[in-house]
A = this chain, B = another copy of it.
Amino acid sequence: MTQYPIIHINGQVSQHISVLDRGFAYGDGFFETCRVYNNKIHLWDLHLKRILNTAKQLLIPIEKDLLENQIQHILQKNNLEHAVLKIQITRGETSRGYSFPENLLPNYILFLSETSHLDIPSWLGGVTVGICNIRLSSNPTLAGLKHLNRLENVLARAELKSESSEGLLLDQQNNLIEGTMSNLFLVKDNTLVTPDLTAAGVCGVMREAIMTIYAVQLNIPVIQKKLTLDDMGEAEEIFLCNSLIGIWPVKKCVREKTSVFALGEVTRKLQVELIRHVTS
């Protein structure tokens, strides 16, 4: 299994980009990380919806058909059973300075890596999480988007001790927002509760799938609201999700006072629904 990904830049096999690319200069772009099963992107409709929305918010004029053609090309050429496809789109290349011309051509970079099956021990046994010291900043203009300005996530990840699979992040006002690379759900009274992400955090595609597909199939209500660490203490079940890991139950949260959580029925049902959706 190769660790080094297969990389296409604007449809060509390549690994290098101009240092004048604005993704490199200013984090001026966004990305999307997708699971590929049997050479097909799982939840592509939701990924594409997020790509188009993010491009619009960031004023990056992407070409949908061009992107989809490039994706089909890299998938068909490599024909992988279990893979991760990272799609990175930047505003393009300019000289120094924050301003950019309207007609700038974006750069499309695709990274395709073989990967293993879902992580069964974490799925079944749950994971331990910590609480990060660094706080997320709030900005309604950028909130929800998976843009390339990810220093907070990088520094949060660097804080994590080896015992923890993931770190939870609060914003500057003590709201619980997400994990460094995942979204968070609590289960309470057979209802899913997930942090409101209108001011901070990333609206992940697996979060969206859980809210709009899996929970709907299972008739489980979902609420988005402001949450704090205290809400975790009152939760019956807690789980993390993203497009790559799927759904990980949280079994333990390491704080001053370590909390232990049950691996509960609602999380299990959602995991089964996700697997059913992948294999159907």
Interface residues of A in 163-196 (CB under 8 A from B): 172, 180-181
11 contacts between A and B (CB under 8 A): A5-B95, A16-B16, A19-B111, A26-B148, A27-B27, A58-B155, A95-B113, A97-B181, A98-B181, A136-B139, A149-B150
Q: Which residue of B lies closest to A91 (CB)?
A: B154
- Give the CA-CA distance A109 to B21 in the complex, in Å: 13
Q: Is A276 interfacial (CB 8 A cutoff)? A: no
| Minimum distance in angstroms from A149 CB to a CB of chain B | 4
Name the B residues within 8 Å of A198 (CB-CB). none
Q: Is the CB of A17 within 8 A of B24?
A: yes
Bound complex: CA A179 to CA B269 (Å): 51
Within the complex, what minimum Cβ distance (angstroms) separates A96 from chain B?
6
The answer for the CA separation of A175 and B142 in the assembled complex, in Å, is 19
**Is residue A25 contacting chain B, with contact meaning CB distance below 8 A?**
yes
Of residues 136 to 155 in A, which have CB atoms within 8 Å of B's CB atoms? 136-139, 141-142, 147-155
A110-148 contacts to B (CB < 8 Å): 111, 113, 134-139, 141-142, 147-148
Tell me whether A33 is interfacial, beta carbon within 8 Å: yes
Q: Please, which residues of chain B bring their CB within 8 A of the CB of A273?
A: none
CB of A220, distance to nearest CB on chain B (Å) = 30
For the complex, give the distance between the alpha carbons of A24 and B4 in Å: 17
Please name the residue on chain B nearest to A9 by beta carbon: B19
Which residues from chain B contact A251 at a C-beta distance below 8 Å?
none
The 7 closest A-B pairs by CB, nearest first: A27-B27, A137-B137, A149-B149, A98-B157, A137-B139, A16-B16, A26-B150
Q: Is A141 a contact of B135 with CB atoms below 8 Å?
A: yes
